[in-house]
Amino acid sequence: MLKFLSVSLILFTSVAFAVVNIPLQGDIPNDGEFWAPLGLGTPVQSFKLQIDTGSADLLVYSTGCKGCGSNIATFNAAASKSDRRVFCKDPIYNCRSSGCSGQYCDFDDQYGDGSHVSGQVVTDIFDIGGLQANISFGMIEDSSKDFEPPGVDGIWGLAWYVISDWNGTSAFQNVVNQLGLPDRFMMCLTDSPVMQLGGPTSDSAFTWTKVINKSYYVVDLKDVQVDGKSIGVSSSVYSGGGQSQPFGTIVDSGTTLFIVPVKAFNALYNSFNSLCKSVNLKGVCGVSQQKSIFANGGASVCASMSSSDIAKFPNITVLLEGASPLSISGSQYLLPLKEGCYSIGIQGANMGGTILGDVFIQGFAVVFDRTNLQVGFGDLSNCPTNVDRSHLPRHVPTPFGAQLRKNRRPYTSPLLRPQLEQSKN
């Protein structure tokens, strides 16, 4: 059970419930994702849920789940006094995916990395460090083995309800409505990662870009630069122009890598290679693309690098509509695949657009302002400090495990499954 119900034990800090800080666990090179300790049911049952801005459903493994693996916590509905099934004919839900099992609502979520889960939709109490709201969520009864890494028990989708499998009010929206929080949150995917509900309290320290499609956090990417120079790709390419079902550019904490269309990826390589006249970039200069760190679409071939080698790599700058230039350094976009051996944390894939995943997000304090339909990027100094992490469960990452999940969640909605299938053909 979560033991954060008193002021002395509080894990999440708040100011009149206007700001709630949730300490996260996980990282990019080892885990490939980030998660939070959260609770469900009465009495509270504790879980570790991945924090994902690229999907909308909250899903958790349930007791008796098939294919859910080991070293996980499962939700026991029979042990919760507040658990309620969702009926098929309930007017506030749309049980549209797999229909109904008898009279109850089912879900069937399939994700862009090929993983999938299914089960029943229920309502129950959602516990965030003692702050509680009633939500709907999915009890996973059947899972592919690759849905979550060992020790992570489910996922909390933070996008809009329109991409939910059962189309009800999302868990996040219920938290906002019932606790009176501002409809926004901030993520800081640093060495001490944290998610802040309701924050930040000031907008002036952030540069903002509009959300142009209220489904995912879709933004308008205008250009990408290497060492201050455009890589020469049209903005329409980044949004999926020329592909069968373009979705734009999304800011997605559930995707490990920075994913761009193949045309942009090849242009990135050419821009890096052009710098070899003046600087020796390990894994780029003196080898062909197919033997470089850009081989096979990225994140598969590594080169031995020291810290001084990494420091020679140029900044990659992203230009979003209305926002100041946003740059990440080699120390952020180069990922270790094994001890001292680094690859590019960018992937080329024709899947309908661009995904600004954790490799990009980690460079900033990122605000998802749902009220004003905008995403803000600020310096990491804007991240909350002095967040109590003493009650977090112990976690020992598998070194360089993320190389096994480089496509952990390129697309995190059932709506994008067709694009993935077409990209494989």
Domains of the chain: 7-182 (2.40.70.10), 206-424 (2.40.70.10)
Q: Is 330 helix (H, G, I), strand (E, B) or coil?
A: helix
Closest by Cα among 75, 79, 14 to 39: 75
Give the chain's residues under pLDDT 70.
Answer: 1-18, 96-99, 101, 201, 395-425
- Dihedral angle computed from the Cα positions of residues 390, 34, 15 and 382, in that order, rounded to the nearest 10 degrees: 100
- How far lies 322's CA from each of 98, 183, 219, 233, 329, in Å? 41, 22, 10, 19, 22
Give the CA count within 13 Å in the CB-facing half-sphere of 386: 2
Residue with tokens 């460090």: 129
Whole-number pLDDT of residue 26: 93
Phi/psi at 355 (5° precision): -125, 120
In tens, the pLDDT along 239-293 reads 998 887 788 999 999 999 999 999 999 999 999 999 999 999 999 999 999 999 9
